[in-house]
Chains A and B, each alone.
Chain A
Amino acid sequence: MVFTLGCAQRQAFFAVLPNADGSSGAITVSDNNQNSLLLDKPYAASEEKSGKIAPAVTNASDVQQVFGNALAAQPILPAHFRLYFERDTDTLTPESAQQYRAVFDDIKRRPVYQVEVIGYTDTLGTQAYNQRLSLKRAEAIRDRLIRDGLNARSISVAGRGELDPAVPTAPQTSEPRNRRVEITVR
């Protein structure tokens, strides 16, 4: 006969892990008795026993022991890119033309991928014109990715015109940082 008195079984365990840059996010853990704990540092942890949550202690090697298989199964994290265009064209700036390669390589290293390309403009010209231009920019990048061998069905495009600038400006303002596409790869 085994006595487990005073040694209640762990019902759940929670921990925050560091991001790649060493920072961390935060989670709150709440039980059914209105108890709540904020975990907002790397390896901040909590466990639940007999329906109550309490702080817990953990570290990288404990986490690896329990979550090693789950962590090994983690997909490559989504990535974001911005490419910039010459004024009033769907031609990339020389710097962004160079950076295109990094976007393509990031997509190619993934076993499966979904790519979203959203185009934007600055505020020169009419809204209607900029809507068309922003879509043309997104389509130019999509067409290039397809020419380079990516699957057309895995790439979506949209144009947001001048309405969602990276840098807010007055109307009819030339702003290179707003002449862009934003690319999400996952």
Chain B
Amino acid sequence: MRAITLTRRALAIACLAIFSMLQFASVAAAQNPQIAQVETISGNVFIQRAGAHVTVKIGDPLYEKDVIDTGADGAIGVTFIDNTVMSAGPNSEVALEQYQFDSNNFSGSMLTDMRKGTISMVSGDIAKSSPAAMKVKTPAAILGVRGTHFVVEVPD
């Protein structure tokens, strides 16, 4: 009888722990809104997120600070909430360093850190909102985006 009580208590504590973890997770999600969605994917692609390597599939959300990491056979295409479209080819490492967008006035700012590989981007509402709003950083240069379609390569 006593053993059962203990087990019940343990169960209750475990449930409480899980519940508070879930709560924490939902709070974290609320503070860190989705900024993009995975639309295409092929080969090996990982997302570096909060120190972990996460696999993603079509339809999954991406968040500020995520780092896209494609393998030798990997490629990924994502669409941001301001309608910016980005795709990365093989052996690429691209950090979504900073992203903020207000859908009420269609303005925001975006900094992409292009560490290596190849990307193609088609700008959306953020680039329209002001000339300095959308930037892409490479190891020794910075790109200001006034509009639409461009590509960047950073050899390994």
Contacts and interface: CB of A to CB of B under 8 A. Distances in A.
Chain A contact residues: over half helix, strand or loop, or mixed?
Answer: mixed
Nearest to A58: B151
A174 B79 CA distance: 37
Interface in A104-149: 110-112, 114, 116
B118 A67 contact: yes
Interface stretch (A18-26, A83-91, A93-101): A18-26
Given A25-B146, A26-B147, A30-B144, A71 B79 contact: no
Nearest to A51: B140
A11 B137 CA distance: 12
Give chain A's interface residue range (CB within 8 Å of chain B): 35 or more
Contacts of B88: 70, 73
Given A11-B154, A15-B151, A29-B142, 9 more contacts: A25-B147, A27-B146, A30-B141, A30-B142, A73-B76, A75-B77, A75-B78, A78-B83, A112-B37
Interface of B: 37-42, 58-59, 75-79, 81, 83, 85, 87-90, 92, 103, 114, 118-120, 122-124, 127, 138-155
Interface of A: 9-19, 24-32, 39-40, 48, 51, 53, 63, 66-78, 110-112, 114, 116, 184, 186
